[in-house]
Chains A and B, each alone.
Chain A
Amino acid sequence: MKVLVTVKEVAQVEDEFEIADREIAAQSLDYDLNEWDDYAIEEGVGMVEDGVADEVVSVTVGPERSEETIRMALAKGVDRAIRVWDDSLEAAELLDPSAKAKILEAVVEDEAPDLVLTGVQADDDAFGATGVTLAERIGFQWAAVVNDLDLDADADVAHVHRELEGGVDEVTDVELPAVLTIQTGINEPRYASLRGIRQAQRKELDVRGLDDLGLDGSIADGPLTLTEMYEPETESDATIWEGDAGETAGNLAEYLRDRGVIDA
């Protein structure tokens, strides 16, 4: 059993930022491993540790900077990693789920995993669609928003819970091979140990261009064009209590007493 975990380096935006040419200025961006992918990594690494899977491989689509992120996956126990990049991808403002899935499809063809784990969504563009799009492309079964996973490799089935709205789980059996999109909270992602970080430096990180995957730059010319990016108009009509902590706390306490929710 081989597990492929897709990971993404995502940009987080500081409280204060400026937008120019449909991009957020670089000094306001911090890069990190996508939160959902952290849980997917933990799930995959746990399968190898539990003897359910033989190997867990990570793939990312990203520039050289994102090697920091994929090294993080290696440090947490992923066996080896693949980074795909191309100048044409650098130039694209927006990669739609289908383009991402085409790239990942080529990696799946090379790697032939039995199980692909993705995060439910990426924290930055939040399409939430790449995993299921990939499943459709590669002819795997799938389940979206999985918050509990029990793999029965002998029976080729994944017993999963899908987290529906309102605190209800759907309990589903999914035939393998499958793509599962992993929800936060499914496990407790580990921190990379110093030993893990050292070992990660020696693990294989294979960098591939689109050519190597039998693809070309036209993949970046998707059907979606980002035409505007702006800060939403604040809809706030909240009364803001001004002053230092003591004054604002006093205002709030007075309100709560007037409102009658507190007797004290």
Chain B
Amino acid sequence: MSVLAVAEHRNGELRDVSFELLTAGRELADAAGADLHVAVISGDAEAFAEELNREGVDAIHAVTYGDEFNHDVYVQAIEALAADLDPTFLLAPNSVNGLDYAPAIAESLDLPLVTDVIDLAYDDGLVATREMYGSKVETTIEVDGDRAAVTVRPTEWPPAEGLGDAEIGVVDVAIDESAIGSTITGFEEAAEGDVNLEDAEFIVSIGRGIEEEENLELIEELCEVTGATMGSSRPIVDNDWLPDNRQVGQSGAVVTPDVYIAIGISGAVQHVAGMKGSDTIIAINTDPNAPIFDIADYGIVGDLFEVVPALIEEFE
């Protein structure tokens, strides 16, 4: 029995989730009585393999083909490794790239797929915990049959540490280039402009709770009287109410201010990924069960249209 975890890297560096996958993989391997194998594909795969050699890893397979992520290469490489290792469980990150290859490999290997998993257990079969309805509920899902592919939510497991004694092998996979249907031509960074959220020490962020574009004036005024830098959650930027460079979250800026005030933001995992490193988090929300309160240090359960004007008054 074996668990095969597929590491993720970008721009010459392993991403944090790769080390978290090792922890999740080791826990699952222990519960199921399996070995933990790790695959690292493309880029400087051999150097990545050395880095991934943490405690609990039994074997690492480095596939040295290509530079950056390409899903066709990943699918072919994992198919080749699976033919050899016959893994019981395949683990991938629930990242933008993970979701670009894991469903395809699960389908091609005929593995049941559970995505965005926040907890895993093994009891004569895989039991996965995942959220639904925007984090309002958690569900447990039992997988029938012996095998499964799972994508694991970043930051749910601690990174694996310590030096391991894994067997590292370089695998020469014959990639069929005629089957590669997409070509990466480059990368673009979102324009930074005149806002630098990453350096801000005091951020006031606004979310869906603001309801209408014209109501943003209220938050602008608050930022003006307090000297805070204004950020936002994704829906505000999607609506073009604020430019891209105001977005805090997984696909925007990752910020670490002294104080972060989240106003009318429910606290979806994508937003939290960008601001949980703030020293102090203060939430203002009408819903006392909003997930933002799970990570907040201080909170006000109330209507922002009443609280914010009162707050502005305090500083005028």
> Which residues of A come within 8 Å of B, CB atoms?
11-13, 15, 17, 19, 22, 24, 94, 96-98, 101, 120, 123-133, 135-137, 141-145, 161-175, 178, 184-185, 188, 222-232, 234-236, 238-241, 244-246, 248-253, 255-256, 259, 261-264
Contacts and interface: CB of A to CB of B under 8 A. Distances in A.
A227 B140 contact: yes
B188 interface: yes
Contacts of A164: 10, 96-97, 187, 251
Interface in B242-284: 244, 247, 250-254, 258-259, 261, 273, 280, 282-283
Main DSSP-derived SS at the B contact region:
mixed
B167 interface: no
Given A97-B113, A167-B251, A249-B314, A229 B132 contact: yes
Nearest to A39: B238
A167 B190 contact: yes
Interface stretch (B34-42, B212-220, B290-298): B290-298
Q: Which of B100, B145, B227, B280 has the most CB of A within 10 A?
A: B100
Contacts of A120: 99
A169 B188 contact: yes
A245 B280 CA distance: 21
Nearest to B250: A165
Contacts, number: 268
Given A17-B136, A125-B132, A238 B144 contact: no
28 contacts: A19-B137, A24-B137, A96-B112, A98-B107, A132-B101, A133-B103, A133-B104, A142-B104, A142-B182, A164-B187, A165-B96, A165-B251, A168-B10, A171-B186, A222-B112, A224-B141, A225-B143, A228-B140, A229-B138, A230-B137, A238-B283, A238-B297, A238-B298, A239-B297, A240-B299, A240-B301, A245-B303, A249-B314
Given A259-B258, A261-B201, A129 B100 contact: no
Contacts of A96: 112-113
Contacts of A241: 298-300
Contact of A141 (B114, B182, B240): B182
A173 B182 contact: yes
